[in-house]
Amino acid sequence: MRLTKISTKTGDEGSTGLGDGSRVGKESLRIEVIGNVDELNSAIGLILSEPLPEAVRICLETIQHDLFELGAELCLPGEARIGESHVARLEDRLERMNSTLPHLAEFVLPGGARAAALCHVARTVARSAERSLVGLSRVEAIGPNSLKYLNRLSDLLFVAARAINRSEGCPDVLWKPGS
C-alpha cells in the first residue's frame, strides 16, 4: 500500500476509516487503543534518539515494528498479527536483560539517565495501551496474544531502564518510604 495523499479530509466530521473500509467514530474504543499504541511507538522512538547499549537499541527497534503490526491488527477487526513468537521473543529478551542486573529488594522510581527515564515514560504509556486494550477486549474480539505482548512489553521497558542506568553508571533511583 502506498500513501500518496495524507490529508483526505474524510475525518473532518469525526469518523475515521479502518483497514477493512468500515468507518468508526474517532472516539471509539478501537481508535483509542490504536492511538495509545501509536503513542507508545512514538515514546519508543524518542528513546531510540538517545545513546543506548546496542542490545537495547536492537530490541527497541524490533519492538517498534511489532507495535506497527499490532496497530495493523487493531485496524483490521478480526485480524491476529501478534503471535506467540512475538511474546516469546519479548520474554526471552526480558529474561536475558534482567539476568545481568542485581536483584531488587526495593521499589524503583523513574529516573537516572535520560534514556532510562524515557523508558519509564514508555512503560507507563504501555500500561495505558494495555488498559485500553483490556477495555476493547470486553466488547470486541482482539488477537489472542496482544494483551500478553503489551503486558510483557511494559515489564521489558522497566528492565531496559535499569539496564540503561547500569550501562551509564547511574544507580537505580530507589523509593524511600516516608521521605
pTM of the entire structure?
0.89
Span 81-94, average pLDDT = 98
Cell of 158: 522497566
User: Of 15-29, 62-76, 128-142, which range is least confident?
Assistant: 15-29
**Does residue 132 sit in helix, strand or coil?**
helix
CATH of the domain at 42: 1.20.1200.10
Q: CA 111, CA 113: separation in Å to the nearest integer?
A: 6
pLDDT digits over 109-127, tens only? 999 999 999 999 999 999 9
- Residue 104 pLDDT > 80: yes
Contacts of 130 (CB under 8 A, 6+ apart): 147, 150, 151, 154
Q: Rounded CA gap, 154 and 76, in Å?
A: 24
Cell numbers representing residue 46 in the block: 524518542
Give residue 146's Cα distance to chain centre: 11
Report if residue 66 sits inside a domain. Answer: yes
Residue 151 lies in a domain: yes
pLDDT of residue 171: 93
β-bridge mates for residue 173, sequence order: 109
Does residue 21 lie within any of the structural domains? no
Domain count, the chain: 1
Could you tell me the CA-to-CA distances from 79 to 23, 25, 84 in Å, in that order? 17, 20, 14
CA distance 21 to 4: 17
Classify residue 20: in a domain, yes or no.
Answer: no
Domain assignment present for residue 155? The answer is: yes
Residue 54, judged by CB atoms within 10 A of its CB (0-12, 13-18, 19+), counts as exposed
Predicted pLDDT at 173:
92
According to DSSP, the β-strands at 23-25 and 108-109 are: unpaired
Range of the domain at 85: 26-100+109-169
- Residue 15 lies inside a defined structural domain of this protein: no
Mean pLDDT across 66-87: 95
pLDDT digits (tens, 9 = 90+) for 15-59: 777 678 778 777 789 889 999 999 999 999 999 999 999 999 999
Q: Note whether residue 135 is domain-resident.
A: yes
Q: Is residue 1 part of a domain?
A: no
